[in-house]
Chains A and B, each alone.
Chain A
Amino acid sequence: MSWLLTLPIMLPMLMAVVVFLLRNQPGAGRLVSIFGCAVLLGLAIALMVVVWDQGVLAAQMGSWPAPFGITLVADLLSAVMVLITAITGFAVAVYALADIDHKRERRGYHALFQVLLAGVCGAFLTGDLFNLYVWFEVMLIASFGLLVLGGDKAQLDGGIKYVALNLVSTVFFLMGIGLLYGMTGTLNLADLHGAVMAVENQGLLTVVAVLFIVAFGIKSAVFPLFFWLPASYHVPPVAVSAVFAGLLTKVGVYALIRMFTLVFTQDVSFTHELLLIIALFTMVTGVLGAAAQNEFRKILSFHIISQIGYMVLGLALYTPLAIVGAVFYLVHHIIVKANLFLISGVAKRIAGSFELSRIGGLYAGAPLLAFLFLIPAFSLAGFPPLSGFWAKYLLIEASLEIEAYFVAFIALLVGLLTVYSMTKIWGEAFWKPHPDGRTPRLSMLTRRERWSLLAPIMGLAAMTVGIGLYPDPFIVFAERAAEQLLQPESYVRAVLGEPSS
């Protein structure tokens, strides 16, 4: 079954080559891109089924035995992240049919998009620290390209900030890898799990752990390292910023969860306490930033930051229930956040701007869009019975369980403030009449545009409602995933083989 682990990486890479060759025939390129995403979705489902049935799956690349070669591993967390990547990728590929202009297609939008998916899947599936760095870079260079593709002035401006700060994060990551290798002599994550126990100077290990917190903290946009995100996520086309918003920062969170459950667990009272403080500040600053903005996508960008705080909070509390909450939150958030960005694109398309003061009347003119906005917006804020309610419920229950009342209070307060800024979008974009006196209608879009823009939004909204109404299987899943994370023996055994052999 080990070939199944390589396919989610190989397929998008192959598709990238094909669509690059087809870049002058946009019609064929689009079809290939969508076909690639559909096959990726099938592969991700297959991988999920196999991992659910058989437990952690590992494959040694080039048949080099475990701690020496590169290992690909999929536990439940990896599998679900690949699945959600495929879902988001597919939704955005359909949306891009109407959202990406011919100029950007000719310059290689589809190829970069596929490389981005390959990088994200690679980062989720690798079991080797240096290989993780390589996948981060693949993802990063593709995202650089996507961000500035088209070359609008605002894109260049936002792009510089994005590129500069992400490169700094890369260097921190690399330095952390070097120092960790110097202390342990291995880069295999499963091998590191055991090797860090044998390090003599545990204090030095904690220093390296902090280097990793900074590196992944910049990637996942936590306080006070998030400034690149609101500077850049609102400049590219919506089909680009939706996939960024859904996936990129979450790769950082995934890396944090992986490293701080598998490797750096020797000084939990320091590292996870630090993460807890970071998480609380991230939640509060993110939501306050959102309240101060007046642009659709900038509000959503600040919300990403605040929501990242919740996920890091789950990791930082480091109880079984809290990890369950973090995993559930991760999955729920990717769907909801990508969807909100997609909706902002439709709103801009028919009402004319992302600036809330320049638009309005969407409720009167396009009630369907208003309804579709309310689902992810309420879910993000944590209204029952949507997916966000269960995500927040799990985290707050986890904090009450260990009597961290202040943490629970902040989590509830941030939820309330999220409602406030969602109300602002609702009031400005949907409720008030359009300042130019026109009525934005969905019928302004062509039939083809309506299909390719609204179908992904409806699909993602249906998933949000589905998770909200039938949370049981998802919570059971998250519990098993959390169990694998907190007791990494099965992960280590899958990679290194039985201890006796």
Chain B
Amino acid sequence: MDTILSVVVGLLVAAAVYLMLARNVLRFIFGLVLLSNAANLAIFVAGRLTFSAPPLVAPGDLAPPGLVANALPQALVLTAIVIGFGLLAFALALVFRAYQDLGTLDSDAMRLAEPKPGTPVPPADPERSSKTQAETPRA
């Protein structure tokens, strides 16, 4: 079982890398989803897999009898899934907003923050005078 899941982790990473190498930002995000799932699965497998041995403690006992499944990796994976879900939801919203505002999903075409050399530089803001004191502070 461990071997099969390890291979699955490898396949997921390979597919993720393939998707992340695309120029389309949306594909990159999909790749990221796969990659984070691969990481979750890797944690799960790293905690060792046991078959049908839930870590349950009988009433009155202090420890479960015999060898049971390791509950900690599952707790870690749950936490990681929740955090990953939040981050990816944010990333998707950001990509959508960027598509609306910048009109492209091509990461090579996103040069607004880093314009190519030779692009004309925007002019300086108009001069402030002490008369415009009432003006709201600007970023």
Contact = CB atoms under 8 A, between A and B. Distances in A.
Interface of A: 98-102, 104, 130, 133-134, 137, 140-141, 144, 148, 150-151, 153-154, 156-161, 163-164, 167-168, 170-171, 174-175, 177-179, 181-183, 230-232, 234-238, 294, 348-353, 355, 357-359, 435-436, 438, 443-446, 449
Contacts of A159: 94, 98
B32 A168 contact: yes
Contact of B124 (A154, A178, A352, A444): A352
A148 to B, nearest CB: 6
B69 interface: no
A118 B113 CA distance: 29
B98 A130 contact: no
A163 B101 contact: no
B14 interface: no
B129 interface: yes
B46 A163 contact: no
Interface in B73-87: 73, 76, 79-80, 83-84, 86-87
A482 to B, nearest CB: 32
A175 B128 contact: no
Nearest to A96: B137
Nearest to B86: A141
A161 B101 CA distance: 16
Contact of B122 (A158, A167, A234, A353): A353
Interface residues of B, number: 56
B136 A101 contact: yes
Interface of B: 20, 25, 28-29, 32, 35-36, 38-40, 42-48, 72-73, 76, 79-80, 83-84, 86-88, 90-91, 94-95, 97-98, 101-102, 107, 110-114, 121-130, 133, 136-139
Nearest to B123: A358
Contacts of B25: 160, 164
Contacts of B102: 153, 156-157
A179 B76 contact: no
Given A156-B98, A160-B25, A355 B121 contact: yes
A137 B46 contact: no
B109 to A, nearest CB: 10
Contacts of A98: 137
Given A238-B139, A355-B121, 15 more contacts: A98-B137, A100-B139, A141-B87, A148-B97, A150-B139, A164-B28, A167-B87, A167-B88, A168-B32, A175-B39, A177-B76, A181-B43, A230-B114, A234-B113, A435-B124
Q: Which 4 A-B pairs have the closest CB atoms?
A: A182-B46, A352-B124, A178-B43, A237-B139
A353 B124 contact: yes
A178 B110 contact: no
Contact of B112 (A100, A157, A170, A171): A157
Contact of A154 (B38, B43, B113, B123): B113
A99 B126 contact: no
Contact of B46 (A181, A230, A235): A181
Contacts of B46: 178-179, 181-183
B47 A181 contact: yes
Nearest to A163: B91
Contacts of B40: 174
A186 B70 CA distance: 12
Given A144-B90, A174-B36, A156 B128 contact: no
A229 to B, nearest CB: 11
Contacts of B122: 353, 355, 358
A130 B121 contact: no
B94 A148 contact: yes
Contacts of A348: 125
A177 B43 contact: yes
Contacts of A170: 36, 84, 87
